Amino acid sequence: MTGDERQQAVIARAADVLPRDERVLGVYLIGSYATGAADQFSDVDLHLVVTDDSLQWFGEHWDDVLRELTGPTVLTDEVPGLIGGLGITPDWLHVDLFVHPLASFERDQYDGVRVLFDRDGTLFPDGDIVAKGGQPGEPYWPTPNVNLFFYFLGNLVTVLGRDERIVGNQGVGALRDQLVALMLAERGVRRTTGAKRLNALLSDEQRAALEAIPAAGTDPADIIAANQYICRQFITRGTALAKLTNNPWPAEFVDATLTHLRNHFQVDFA
């Protein structure tokens, strides 16, 4: 599917209007509209490369540029640390617009690009970049996710010790996200799809394991049960992946965390 006519109209207008500004050196799409995976729910992820001396102007007026393409908006919100942000129209068309100065532009950071405009042909000399699409590859070791997992897990003592049940429920999602990252590493998938596309990146077995996570509301017993299930999945998969990729399993940190949990809750998590 190629999306709907509203999204296509924004893309066509971007290709027509933006090149008229001499400060704009390139216009391109990433995300679903770059990879051919767009549907009627897809965002339009539009990026510009501009002259270095015009960056300040675009930083102050990116939302005006966006509205020139979309028409009126009910929300524009800048993304911290970047030049640009998101826009939502009255009929809930979602368009992201980000601006990059020529001096720091890096074409190789993207997996999948559809080039709408390249003023002198040097930004994307080979044209569009075909996406690998998150296809399975060589398994790798996700060190930050492993460390975050056991850090989040250990904080369950503090959260439930303070009877912060809502935070405890949120923590289940945080642990699950690290488990998803570990599963992607198992398959050698370096995530390239949008945040709202995950099914195709996981195996049937992995999806079944995630879908079997016990439901957790705000009852501490349910929160603990969900944490136990996720922890056992993570340790089983993590130790196997560490061995497969010839990376050290953080045994001391893991053991300290499990002991901390057992001492407080009087149950085992592994």
Whether residue 54 contacts residue 78, with contact meaning beta carbons closer than 8 Å, is answered with no
Q: Tell me the C-alpha distance between 159 and 173, whole Å.
A: 14
Q: What is the mean pLDDT of residues 170-183?
A: 96
pLDDT value for 196: 64
The pTM for the full model equals: 0.67
For tokens 């070791």, what's the residue?
141
193 pLDDT exceeds 60?
no
pLDDT value for 110: 78
pLDDT value for 1: 36
Q: pLDDT tens digits, residue range 218-251?
A: 999 999 999 999 999 999 999 999 999 999 999 9
Residue-range domains of the chain with CATH: 5-118 (3.30.460.10), 143-265 (1.20.120)
Four-residue CA torsion sign, 169, 174, 176, 177: positive
pLDDT value for 194: 58
Q: Tell me the C-alpha distance between 96 and 79, whole Å.
A: 10
pLDDT value for 72: 97
The residue that leads in pLDDT, 217 or 193, is 217
CA nearest 218: which of 144, 165, 143? 165
3-state secondary structure of 229: helix
Q: pLDDT tens digits, residue range 25-84?
A: 999 999 889 888 888 888 999 999 999 999 999 999 999 999 999 999 999 999 998 999
Paired with 94 in beta bridges are 88
Q: What is the mean pLDDT of residues 100-110?
A: 89
Average pLDDT, the chain: 93
DSSP H/E element including 97: strand 94-101
pLDDT band of residue 158 (cuts 50, 70, 90) is very high
Q: Tell me the C-alpha distance between 48 and 20, whole Å.
A: 13
Picking from 49-63, 116-130, 185-199, 231-245, which range would have the lowest pLDDT averaged per residue? 185-199
Paired with 187 in beta bridges are none
